[in-house]
Every structure is written in structure tokens, then in C-alpha cells.
Structure 1
Amino acid sequence: MSETIQDNKLVELTYEVVDKKSGQVLANVQFPLSYVHGTDPVLAKQVTDDLEGRSQGDVIEVPIDGNAIYGSRDESLVFTDSIENVPEEYREVGKIILMEGEKGDRKEFIVTRMDDKTLTVDGNNPLCGRDLIFRLEILTVRDATPEEIEAGTKVVDGPDIDPDRIVPI
């Protein structure tokens, strides 16, 4: 008998986020995401509630209101400027730009539109304001170790890797 998802179980899954209206896949996570059920809020509560009692191999679809998770769309976070005011390296649709406000707070903006004269960036999460479906495939369900319960995720033995020292290939 396979184990079911409940508190203190390590769960590994993959998922995709689909726009309910268009059917377009908006995000796709193919590498396993792991979390310890009941200890780590990596997923929205609505998703973890629907995962409760499920088993390895199950595929579920959870409808989500994007506004509930990502907030309502805020048009004041959309800016259009002359392309001449934008550095060359940011002149690409889909490019993420990290900006800092007057108080030192940082926010990511995505280049959403560009033509010969202007460039538009949007600071809203791309999933806000949409009706979504989270399609999840459960790959593993097992008892979490005490170390995993404390960490809230899978703990892998191996060397500590300093992410600042990783050199892109």
C-alpha cells in the first residue's frame, strides 16, 4: 500500500500552471519540487489542502484564483519610457529588471512590450489577475527524516555549495 500525503511526509512533485481561460501553460516545473507536508509553506494552502491524502502517481488539478495568491493587478506598476532611456542590455521582451525604490526596497519588473521608440515594463506578477489551474504530479511520498522536518524540504548529503562561487558554463 502506498503512503498518503499527511503531516511530516516528504513530498516530491512536478507541476505546471495553466491559464484556465486560454489553456496556455504559463509555467512548468519539471525538476522535482520537494517539501515536508505541514511544515513548509512553499505551496499555497489551497494546493497543500488538495494534496492531503493523495499518493505517489496521482495527478491532480487545483483551480486557483491568481488574485488570491499573487494579488490584484496594479496598473501603477506598469511603466512605458523612451527606448533611449533604457540601457541596451534590457531591450528584450521577457527580460527581468531588478529595480530599487527610494526606500531601498527591490522589485522585479518584466519587459512586456517594445517597439522602435518605447519600452514597457510591468512589476505585476505575471499570474495575478488570472484564473489558473495548478496541475501537479506526485512523484514521491515518504516519511521525512527529522532533519527534513526541521528544514521543511529534502536534505541531501553532499558538499556545501556556495551559490556565489558557481560559475555558469
Structure 2
Amino acid sequence: MSKMVIEDGKFVELIYKVIDKKTKNVLSEVEFPLGYIQGISEVLSPEVTAELVGQEQGDVIELPINCDEIYGPRDESLVFTDHIDNVPKAYRKIGMTVTMENKAGEPKDFIVTRVDENSVTVDGNNPMCGREVVFILQVITVREPTDEEAAAGGPIEDTPAFDMPNARKIH
């Protein structure tokens, strides 16, 4: 019996890592299988999932990606530096995410990229902008989705049922 190949409508599980081509650093790694339905779920960029079509269980794919094609080029107008006294102490830590609003009231996330004794710098660009990376993906499973998965548009998480009478509901 031949192996099932990845095509639209198939349930796929994979693990992957993203490596910076220039520094060879691992930028992110998913070691627990990530499940999705090809062509329906948007767990990875379309540029990545399009390259998975035709692959099968056990395949390992190395996929070079220019992140500017996915996230757009770096925009220096999204980088702001302010005097440290104007920035709340909670936001004076590198890596902290700060959500700001534009004039239209739309939220935009910025990441604190620099803190010194006088200033704090935040950057609204996607951290992957300007990078060339390699996705190394390993296909773990390719199969037909269950009826539940097809109805949900992706994997169904098995979560334990907890009886927590004193828990507060979060909306």
C-alpha cells in the first residue's frame, strides 16, 4: 500500500525548526507534532505549506525562505526610542511586548529591543523581517481527517475535564 501524500484536505502532523541562514542559530523549534488540515488551517505561512504538497510521512524537507516575502521588508518608521522616564517600569525589559494603538485605534504590537540608562527602544517590525531562514520540516503523519477534525478545520485537542468550583471565568 502506498503512503498518503500531502494534498488539500489531508490531516498533517509535523515537527520543524527554523534556522537563520546567516548565523546558523535555531530561531524556533516545534518538537511536539503540530497538526493541521492542508489548505484549511493556517498554522504556518502559505509559502511554507504550499511546499509540503506531494510530501509523505517520514519526509524531511529543507525549505529556504526570504522572510521579507512573508512579512514584508523592514520599516524603520516602526522603530521608536523614548526617554526612559516616559516608559513605565513594566516595559523596560528587552523582549517585552507592548501593544500600542494607531490614530485609528487599531492595536499594533511592538517589542522592546533596547534599554539603557537613558532610553527604551521598541520595534513594530516582525522579528523575522530582513532574515533569510531555512525551515527544516519532518512530516510525522498524513491521513484523512476525522469528521470532528474536518468540522473544526483542524486538530481536536484532548483536554482533561477539571471540576474547579472556585475558578473565575475569564472572558
Q: Same fold (TM over 0.5)?
A: yes
Question: Which has more radius of gyration?
Answer: 2
How much has 1:148 moved relative to structure 2? 2.0
C-alpha displacement of 1:156: 3.7
Indicate the residue corresponding to 2:165 in structure 1: none
1:149 is aligned to 150
1:1-16 superposed matches below 5 A: 1-16=2-17
Distance 2:109 2:32 in 1: 24
5 Å-filtered alignment, 1:1-169, equals 1-156=2-157, 165=169
Contact 2:21/2:132, CA 8 A, preserved across alignment: yes
Determine if contact 1:39/1:149 at 8 Å carries over to the other structure. Answer: no
- 8 Å Cα contact 2:20/2:27 also seen in 1: yes
* 2:38 aligned partner, one-letter code: H
Whether the 8 Å contact between 1:6 and 1:52 is mirrored in structure 2 is: yes
> Cα distance, 1:44 vs. partner?
2.3
- Cα distance in 1 for partners of 2:112, 2:29 equals 20
Unaligned runs of 5+ in 1: none
CA distance in 2, matches of 1:109, 1:99: 7
- Misfit runs of 4+, over 3 Å: 156-161
Residues in 1 aligned to 2:135 and 2:36: alpha-carbon distance in whole angstroms: 16
Q: Structure 1 stretch 24-33 or stretch 96-105: which is displaced more?
A: 24-33
- CA-to-partner distance for each residue in 1:99-122, whole Å, 9 max, x for gaps? 122211111111101111111000
Equivalents in 1 of 2:126, 2:41: separation in Å? 22
Q: What is the TM-score with the length of structure 1 in the denominator?
A: 0.86
Greater mean deviation of Cα atoms: 114-123 or 128-137: 128-137
C-alpha deviations, 1:63-115, integer Å up to 9, x for none? 11101111110000000111111111111111111112221111111110111
Contact 1:10/1:141 (CA < 8 Å) preserved in 2?
yes
The runs of 5 or more residues in structure 2 that have no matched partner are: 163-167
Higher mean alpha-carbon deviation, 40-49 vs 79-88, is at 40-49
Q: How many pairs does the alignment contain?
A: 164
Residues in 2 aligned to 1:124 and 1:147: alpha-carbon distance in whole angstroms: 37
SS at match of 1:34: strand
Q: Kindly tell me: are residues 159 and 121 of structure 1, through their superposed partners in 2, closer, same or farther at Cα, counting changes over 3 Å?
A: same
Would the aligned equivalents of 1:83 and 1:118 in 2 still touch at CA under 8 Å? yes
More displaced, 29-38 or 117-126?
29-38
CA distance in 2, matches of 1:160, 1:105: 36
